[in-house]
Amino acid sequence: MAEGERVRRILHCDMDCYYAAVHVRDDSSLAGRPVVVGGDPGGRGVVATANYEARRYGIHSAMPAARAKRLCPEAVFLAPDFPRYRRESERIFAIYREVTPVVETVSLDEAYLDVTEHLGSSGRASEIAKEIRRRVRAERGLTVSVGVGPNCLVAKIASDACKPDGLKVVPPARVRSFLDPLPVRRLHGVGPATEHALAAMGVATVAQLRVVPLRDLLARFHSHGRTLHEYAHGNDERPVEPFHERKSLGTENTYRRDLSVLTAMDEQLDAMAREVATGLVRRDIAACTVTLKVRYPDFTTVTRSLTFRVPTADSGRIGSTARGLLRRTEAARRGVRLLGVSVSTLVPATMRQLELFGDG
């Protein structure tokens, strides 16, 4: 953290074995029993999540369901019900949003909250974390683990460290002692390949990574080396981005002289599509719906929309869709004084994978 910079207070809220917990809450016959949510254990599906009773048998997310069945034949196997998890998430996240508007949705069961400007009467992030945990339990009948730290990196590792049903606060002065003994794999963005490469350099823990000279990390990992260096020092400047508040993203232009030629309109739409796509990529989100807005010279305004089954953040796809929609208007015949391109039905760019492989 730079000298004189204000300390942020970030919460990472992570529901405990979320999908399984929702089923157990709603069906008292499941209480105390091993519960596995995922694919058919008789087929080739994988485990999305397992409750702690099932984890005791060695069952974990992304494991083949058939293997889970062999480890614990008496476990209850349930098919996922995403609309139900999504409805529940909306209610839980509504509690978060009463605390701060700065809520970033990571997946159906995981969110970052920036409470720096919303510390309430106590002035303490730890009190806010306690209140959130109390309310989620009382109002939703579920448990959420919360990590508190000066940035997303530390808050996330803290919530992992206190699961299940835990609270872990890491004050800025203790970030280094908290991170140092951990294996490098616990840092965001360190996957098996990076872990392996670091091991070859004799680096297994965060403390060991912290003392590797930056130039060595840059030589080995290029720009990612700088991120590793920052993370090993407990620094993470990523902002909490509440894109889920956002229902759409778009841009429009009013022309001083009406456009009358279709190719000129197409050029405008392509430029706007690039701008919109840049906005999506920057927020790490994707859109399912493209909407074109056209205002004719007589001020009559029409919109045309198309919704994809698979979300996109691609400027070419958004542009060609907008051009196609333009041909479903009378723009070519009447001319236009305004054009607009917007996207909606926004989802996290990673949502689909997260839904396949479950929560943690």
Q: Which residues pair with 291 in a beta bridge?
A: 305, 342
**Would you list the DSSP string of 220-285?**
HHTHHHHHHHHHHTT---PPP--GGG--EEEEEEEEEEEE--HHHHHHHHHHHHHHHHHHHHHHTE
The residue at minimum Cβ distance from Mg ion is: 359
At its nearest, how many Å lie between Mg ion and the CB of residue 346? Answer: 22
At its nearest, how many Å lie between Mg ion and the CB of residue 96? Answer: 14
At its nearest, how many Å lie between Mg ion and the CB of residue 80? Answer: 14
At its nearest, how many Å lie between Mg ion and the CB of residue 264? Answer: 51
Kindly report the backbone phi and psi dihedral angles of residue 155, in degrees, each rounded to the nearest multiple of 5, phi listed first: -60, -40
φ/ψ region of 62 (left if φ > 0, alpha if ψ in -120 to 50, else beta) reads left
CA 17 to CA 30: how far, in whole Å? 14
Nearer to Mg ion by Cβ, of 19 and 296: the residue is 19
At its nearest, how many Å lie between Mg ion and the CB of residue 17? Answer: 7
Task: Give me the residues that bind Mg ion (CB under 5 A), please.
Answer: 14-15, 109, 359-360
Q: Which residues pair with 168 in a beta bridge?
A: 147
CA 154 to CA 188: how far, in whole Å? 9
CA 235 to CA 237: how far, in whole Å? 7
Q: Could you tell me the two tokens for 140?
A: 């939703």
Q: At what angle do helices 214-221 and 223-232 cross, to 10 degrees?
A: 140
CA 90 to CA 344: how far, in whole Å? 18
Exposure b/e, 235-263, CB count within 10 A at least 16 = b: bbeeebbbbbeeeebbeeeeeeeebeebe
At its nearest, how many Å lie between Mg ion and the CB of residue 92? Answer: 11
Q: What would you measure as the largest C-alpha separation in the chain, in angstroms?
A: 73
Query: Strand 110-114 vs strand 103-107: parallel, antiparallel, or unpaired?
Result: antiparallel
Nearer to Mg ion by Cβ, of 48 and 322: the residue is 48
Nearer to Mg ion by Cβ, of 340 and 360: the residue is 360
Is 241 among the catalytic positions? no
| Active-site choice (88, 110, 241, 355) | 110
User: Looking at the annotation, which residues are catalytic?
Assistant: 110
